[in-house]
Amino acid sequence: MHPQLDAIANEFLEALDRLHRLRAAVPANDWGRRRDPARWSVAECVAHLNLTSAGYLRVLDAALAEAKRLGGPAPGRYRRDLTGWLLWKTMGPPVRTRIRTAAAFVPESGAPPEALVIEFERLQNAQMAALREGDGLPLSRVRVVSPFNPRVRYNLYACLSMLPRHQHRHLWQAEQVWGGRHR
């Protein structure tokens, strides 16, 4: 796999490990508890990530089909466009700027932790499969529309690089619910 895509795959795996550590550290009864009424609980953070992953998988399917249609030689280096770079840059932890999410991605989960983790794992595997499918394709030449805001567009490489970064953002937030003790 291209080294830049391999780095993204490693970020996905690190996010999965981070979630497993959080699951082991936080009692099931506490997953739904908010420490601050204005902030999400651990369960809500994970449910949001699941909603986001499901939304992006639909975007990835269409974008990968377009990348295959375009074809061409594998790039020596993938590049994010300006919008994608700005979003990627502001997305990671630690969270400095709170951003309101679109209504479709606001979690309403009362699901037990195990169900949330199983769904996260399933979606993570699908995203990693999409990443592998994109190897050697012109990801920087394909534009995607954000499922959060249809006016925002960026290239497919930026999209793929943002997904695990977004996961780390919300896993960091979930850790902060418990005083950051679970890294």
Q: What region does 135 belong to: left with phi over 0, alpha with psi -120 to 50, or beta?
A: beta
Structure tokens at 155: 């290239």
Q: Where do the structural domains in the chain lie, given as residue ranges? A: 3-177
∠ Cα 145 92 17 (to 5°): 105
Q: Cα(3)–Cα(143) distance, rounded to whole angstroms?
A: 21
Q: What CATH homologous superfamily does 3-177 map to?
A: dinb family like domain (1.20.120.450)
Alpha helix segments (H runs only) across 31-139: 42-70, 82-91, 113-133
Angle between helical axes of 156-177 and 3-25 (0-180°, round to 10): 20
* pLDDT tens by residue, the chain, 183 residues: 999 999 999 999 999 999 999 999 999 999 998 888 878 999 999 999 999 999 999 999 999 999 999 987 778 899 999 999 988 988 878 766 666 666 566 687 678 999 999 999 999 999 999 999 999 999 999 999 999 889 999 999 999 999 999 999 999 999 988 765 444
CB 102 within 8 A of CB 148: yes
